[in-house]
Structure 1
Amino acid sequence: MHSYLIEYYEKCKSGEILIGRELMMQLEMLMEDMNNPIYRFDTAEAHKRIQFIEKECKHSISPFAGHPFLLELWQKAYLEAKYSFYMMIEGKWLRRFNRTLLVIGRKNGKTTLCAADGLAEFFCGNTGTNILCASNDYEQAGLVFDEINNMREESPKLAKVTRKNIKGIFMGNPKQKKKKGKFSYQNKAKIKKLSAKTGAKEGKNVDKAIVDEVHEMKDNSLVAPIVQSTSTKDEAMVDEITTEGFTEDGYLDEEMKEARKVLKGELHRPRRLYWLYTQDSETEVWQDRKSWVKSNPNLGVAKKWHYLDDLIEEAKTNSATRAFMLAKDFNFKQGSANAWLQDAEIINAATFNIEDFRGAFYIAGNDFMETTDLCASKLLLMKPGDKTVYFYSHYWIPEAKLKLSPDDVDYRQWERDGYLTIVEGNSVDSSVVADWQFKLLEEYDLKPFKSGYDNRFAKDYINRFEEIFGKDILLNVPQDAKVLNNPMRRLEADLRDKLVNYNNCYGDMWCFKNTGIKLDALGRMMPCKMHTTKRIDGTAAAVVAYAVFDWHKSEFLQLIGG
């Protein structure tokens, strides 16, 4: 019988199909194993599932909704690899692979493929097959489950012998309760979903589990109980499917370390299959458009070339897009802190005289210190008809911290330059920031329109500020990606376009250079430290100021006559 796996390998080997080194290493190991007497290679069960998918399963999502699911060669090869290898276990020839890991760029149809695989197992597998769709949260787990159900409903033949309720999908039609056989109530096969937050993960007796987006998991608290629940089954399989992500030292990190050791021959894991669509280098992403198919095997089929073309161009000038794209489209792990801006984008020698803003209104952004951090306040100022944002900054640091500080900066020079106050003792009372702002009111008639702050460590500032300026000016700016994403993106764009004049303040420039970005699962960013000893308080204050500016832009511009 024809082997899709061998066909795929030969086309990859010849260069007709382009794949990365890691997948080629796995394919070469599988080719060698075909001639290894400890394994048997029989495609019957794999081809039964492939034929079922192409005959019975239909797409449910535009632009292919209602069309038969015709598998690509890579998909057939993947399914054949999973189901065609057997090894002698406890005196029986049993299916070899019980754990698989598929890493693939987003929008390459992994959810649809795994849903079709799950539905095929439901019908082609043993009577009483127990299938589990799992993920870090219930909504994500529902994606594969819902797609399985969509395929079930699209086929009159499958819908006729199955049913769905709030507990799951089950074999048997309520109108044919007396019917006997595999496709009746006699068969207790079921498909359910499970999240990491669900209790009682043990005792599920799973035949097949599809664990989606494992890159979000911090540990194996979801996967381990699922694997344990397969222990009573001869031919159970746990499929883990994912893109790369941002979770530092997470579950996927350990899985990928082990996978790479196995592929290099440093570890022996005969029952694990690693199907990794990864690039060979980040450089090729930017320089070789053809290489994109290494992490996107469905590029040109489900995923569009023009989509990646546009994304690459945006990523060249947008740090969050770059980090998110490299993780999600090209499977490069992104650390918890990725560089925000290049030095050339930050440096701006432009200066201004604060006297020019005498009598003006400003928006303040404040970041209050935690232990050894700086305390920072920035006044965001603007001129009528001028798109430039002017930052007038000041910093505070406890004198006791100077001796302990690992920073490679001369805080005494900052003090001599006039933008740092060294405070006696071990900490900074945040009320000094309100006093500084009051001093600017006295000296330059600078008046706060709004003042943004983070709740942490702000109590003394709030009390003092309200005594001086009243209650209606203060605004709390929560420090999370949902709030900070848009203002940080706008600040980034303005810095690149040299529309931020920070008066050539070295402290501001230093903080900007130290800043990394941390992305959440939706690609929203917020500032974080690139290094634990490098401070970013000036950046945090600037982002807070931009957040307040976003919320009250029209009022502020009207106030200043813009």
Structure 2
Amino acid sequence: MSAEKSILNKNGIPSFVTDYIDSYKKNNIVLNIERIKLIKQLEDTIFKKVESGGLYFDEKHIAGCINFAEKWYFPLEPFQKFIISFIFLYHSHNQRAYYKEFLIMMGRGGGKNGLISVISHYLISELHGIENYNGSVVANSEEQAKTSFEEIYDAINKKSLLQRAFYKTKLEITSNATNSKFKFHTANPKTKDGGRQGFVIFDEIHAYENASLVNVYKSGMGKKKDSRKFYIGTDGYVREGYLDSMKNKANNILDGEHPDSKMFVFICKLDDVKEVSDETMWEKANPMFSQPMSEYAEILYEEVKEEFLELNYDSTSRTEFMTKRMNLPEEDMEKIVASWEDIMQTSRPMPLLNNRTAIVGVDYANAIDFAAVGFLFRIDNNYVWHSHSFARKEFLDTHSLGPPIGEWEKKGYLTIVEAPTIDPKLMVDWVKQECERLNLTVHKVMVDNFRYDITRPAFEDAGYEMELLKYMPSIHAQLSPRVETIFRNHQVIWDDNPLMRWYTNNTAVKIKKDGNKEFIKKDPVRRKTDGFHAFLHALYRSDEVVGQDLDKSFDMLELIDF
């Protein structure tokens, strides 16, 4: 490429990068905080390494990929050219790609799938020039997994020159020059082999409940030069899943906590839910809406605007609109126990529990899957919950629940039981163990009437007073105002307990015809709620232990000979 046509400035930075940053600094585009942090990170670290000669942008590949896209697909937006530039950033000493991972998140319609189709097609082509640089796109559903594959397939189908360069079937696209193959896969980690991948695209990562699928494909990486992983999607409704861990990692990277990270983070979202009322802020979530808008963007903008106006008449669609269009999850507070932010506030450290009185709550609804038990204390106007769960190994082996149950067992949050049923004596033994360890007093044990005939003898034989909760829908209606209040006021403490967060997030609030609320499961099999219901049972009598610890302290003082 001749000097006069170079896309690099005197410092070696592509014009596609500097132009995008200049647009922000001149207030021509509006960016969210994550992209503002990205620019600062690039200026503070990456650009300095380029200027000093430690890194370089390969202008041949950058221009080649962009030209390939605009010749065979569609005109690229400035933000898309900005992203492509960093795919072809290399170490100077060994000519290997600098960024190994790319996290790209934005509102629905932002063009992430189209961009990834272009990139994928280029990477397997002779223009990229790496032989056997195989690529895969992975998603939870076949329809989503085939999105980019079919876009490439259709592009080849329309152009005779591309037909001579690539061989295609309905399952695989192959470059005749490099023998690089591109496939799609659905999400079933037990039946997949990572293989020798040059690059992998993990699509709609909001639906991944854990890292098992990603790990399968990552295991086949690193064996090819310049292997890359792309994570793309819009936010979703699965909490404590793979996406949440990725977002935490991404934020730490943008905050400078991992300066050696090789992940490029490009997240577009509203910074605050209030911004949804200002249409000029929408481009924070969807960079397609930056001025000047393309014809595609104008059509999309009108569609999104119509959806927003419709919220005045159908408020039930707001959660979907905020999550998918604005890439900022907003939960329907009428259908959940508490917001995810409020649930996370339960993760504060436990106060000292020794020598206290508690209500014990038990949930033993189904002896063949999960059971839960815990102590509820009233300490400094907080509701402190110390609990443990039991889960049957056979149930876990036959049902893919999503969260890392095995890891949670290692950390002591639950016990996996290898037996036909969960013996209620296991819960009694745990209560006795904790009473002895912490010198606790049990005021009474609360349990609902489901399987009460099994749980009652076990606890009564151990000397504990039982109280039967007979009509749970009525009790839920009585408790719902308190549950809402104590979560919103951050009065619930159960330490950093992912199992309890999972239980609570799995619980839905059903508003009945009479206006009363009932706590139910979001999913009858995969979304367990046992720990939350044990907490509810104890909450019903929690006022009875207020002040009892103070009384015990006075009793102990009387025994001391001063």
Give the shorter-chain TM-score range: 0.5 to 0.7
CA distance in 1, matches of 2:124, 2:225: 16
Shift of 1:206: 0.8
> Which residue number in structure 2 is paired with residue 103 of structure 1?
105
CA contact (8 A) 1:214 1:252 kept: yes
Tell me whether 1:226 sits opposite 2:231 in the alignment: no
> Which residue number in structure 1 is paired with residue 81 of structure 2?
76
> Which residue number in structure 2 is paired with residue 307 of structure 1?
303
Q: How does 1:147-296 map to 2 (within 5 A)?
A: 147-172=151-176, 182=177, 187-197=178-188, 199-286=190-277, 288-296=278-286
> Which residue number in structure 2 is paired with residue 25 of structure 1?
37
Tell me whether 1:136 sits opposite 2:149 in the alignment: no
SS at match of 1:170: strand
CA distance in 2, matches of 1:72, 1:313: 27
Deviations 1:487-526 (A, max 9, x none): x9xx98xx9xxxx6x3xxxxx43x17x79x969xxxxxx9
Among candidates 82, 90, 93, match of residue 86 of structure 1:
90
Shift of 1:404: 5.2
CA contact (8 A) 2:196 2:223 kept: yes
Shift of 1:429: 9.9
Among candidates 112, 115, 120, match of residue 114 of structure 2:
112
CA distance in 2, matches of 1:166, 1:231: 28
What one-letter code is carried by the residue in structure 1 that aligns with 2:161?
A: K
Mark the CA change 1:163 to 1:223 in structure 2 (over 3 Å): closer, same or farther. Answer: same
CA contact (8 A) 1:132 1:193 kept: yes
CA contact (8 A) 1:323 1:338 kept: no
CA contact (8 A) 1:34 1:40 kept: no
Among candidates 321, 324, 328, match of residue 325 of structure 1:
321
CA contact (8 A) 2:57 2:85 kept: no
What one-letter code is carried by the residue in structure 1 that aligns with 2:97?
A: R
* Structure (1 or 2) with the larger CA radius of gyration: 1
Instruction: Provide the TM-score with structure 2 as the length reference.
Output: 0.57
Shift of 1:277: 0.6
SS at match of 1:96: coil
Mark the CA change 1:312 to 1:426 in structure 2 (over 3 Å): closer, same or farther. Answer: same
SS at match of 1:94: coil
What one-letter code is carried by the residue in structure 2 that aligns with 1:6?
A: T
CA contact (8 A) 1:319 1:341 kept: no
Tell me whether 1:34 sits opposite 2:47 in the alignment: yes
CA distance in 2, matches of 1:334, 1:249: 16
Aligned residues: 362
> Which residue number in structure 2 is paired with residue 54 of structure 1?
70
Among candidates 121, 124, 127, match of residue 122 of structure 1:
124
> Which residue number in structure 1 is paired with residue 20 of structure 2?
8
**Where do 5+ consecutive residues of structure 2 fail to align?**
1-5, 8-14, 338-363, 372-442, 449-465, 475-507, 538-562
> Which residue number in structure 2 is paired with residue 339 of structure 1?
334
Tell me whether 1:298 sits opposite 2:288 in the alignment: yes
Mark the CA change 1:204 to 1:30 in structure 2 (over 3 Å): closer, same or farther. Answer: same
Instruction: Provide the TM-score with structure 1 as the length reference.
Output: 0.57
**Where do 5+ consecutive residues of structure 1 fail to align?**
58-68, 173-181, 343-368, 373-401, 408-423, 434-484, 503-507, 520-525, 536-562
Mark the CA change 1:306 to 1:518 in structure 2 (over 3 Å): closer, same or farther. Answer: farther
CA distance in 2, matches of 1:269, 1:117: 25
Mark the CA change 1:281 to 1:275 in structure 2 (over 3 Å): closer, same or farther. Answer: same
CA distance in 1, matches of 2:303, 2:109: 11
> Which residue number in structure 2 is paired with residue 383 of structure 1?
none
Mark the CA change 1:199 to 1:157 in structure 2 (over 3 Å): closer, same or farther. Answer: farther
CA contact (8 A) 1:6 1:31 kept: no
Shift of 1:228: 2.4
Residue identity (%): 21
CA distance in 2, matches of 1:334, 1:534: 25
Shift of 1:192: 0.9
CA contact (8 A) 1:105 1:243 kept: yes
Shift of 1:40: 2.2
Shift of 1:273: 0.2
Shift of 1:272: 0.7
Shift of 1:116: 1.2
What one-letter code is carried by the residue in structure 2 that aligns with 1:291?
A: M
What one-letter code is carried by the residue in structure 2 that aligns with 1:24?
A: I
CA contact (8 A) 1:195 1:222 kept: no
SS at match of 1:222: helix
What one-letter code is carried by the residue in structure 1 that aligns with 2:79?
A: W
SS at match of 1:240: strand
Q: Which moved more, 1:141-150 or 1:307-316?
A: 307-316
SS at match of 2:196: coil
